[in-house]
Structure 1
Amino acid sequence: MAKLEKMAQDAADAAIATLPGWSRQDEKWMQGSYRFSTYPAAIAFVDRVAEIAEAMNHHPFIAIDYKKVTLRLTTWHSGGLTELDMESARRYNETYETSTGERG
């Protein structure tokens, strides 16, 4: 499957199930949340997310709520979730694992 080809619902659900902290929001969106011990730690994570997003040319919607960061992903050109979204989420989770935080 091409990275930008829209995934079937069951394939997207199966892929999301392998991504701790991520869930489907509807047929087009997935969301992951990350909790940190301090506001600066949350902002540092967002900076790393921005670097990854720029390198992949695939940018999440980002909400910063004090020490909690929420990312939302979709692939606009495909009209839903793609392997690029799954790869982005995997990279964000890997980045989170190397930072100080608590899932949620």
Structure 2
Amino acid sequence: MLSARTADWSAAEANPLATRDREEEMALAERLTDAEIQAALATVPEWRLEEKTIGRRYRFGSFMDAVGFVNRVAEVAERRNHHPFISLDYKVVTLRLTSWHAGGLTQADFDEAAEFDRLYEGMRN
């Protein structure tokens, strides 16, 4: 049975991202220009531009390490509500990012790419 409290959820409680500053949210959602994409690529040097996506391959010592990384990527993606394409090929994980709603790459793609790189580095150390 639903309580009155459950029925009266605010938008912020129902969607934690609703509390994000509106200007910040809009900036993350705007499609980047070619020049902005090139500048953003410099912040994630292992990532490559592939048409309207950026992609990177991560290599692991074992299949289970690769699976563990995919699980951590999934947790980040859920938290950010921004989900990459994921391919797992034995000890290699390939990630690709784009923002379909913006029709190409946004700052959110590059921010998430950097977070995935930090996860990878943390697993290697």
Q: 1:76 aligns with which of 96, 100, 109?
A: 100
Larger RCO of the pair (alpha carbons < 8 Å, separation 6+):
1
Percent identity reads: 47
TM-score, normalization: structure 1?
A: 0.92
- Measure the CA separation in 1 of the matches of 2:47 and 2:102: 20
Report the RMSD for the aligned CA atoms in angstroms. 1.3
Structure with the higher fraction of residues in helix conformation: 2
The gaps in structure 2 that reach 5 residues or longer are: 1-25
The gaps in structure 1 that reach 5 residues or longer are: none
Superposition deviation, residue 49 in structure 1: 0.1
Structure with the higher fraction of residues in strand conformation: 1
Alignment pair present for 1:10 and 2:10: no
Give the SS at the match of 1:51. Answer: helix
Mapped contact 1:37–1:100 kept (Cα < 8 A) = no
Runs of 4+ that moved beyond 3 A: none
| Paired residues, number | 100
Alignment pair present for 1:24 and 2:49: yes
Could you say which structure has the larger radius of gyration? 2
Superposition deviation, residue 100 in structure 1: 2.6
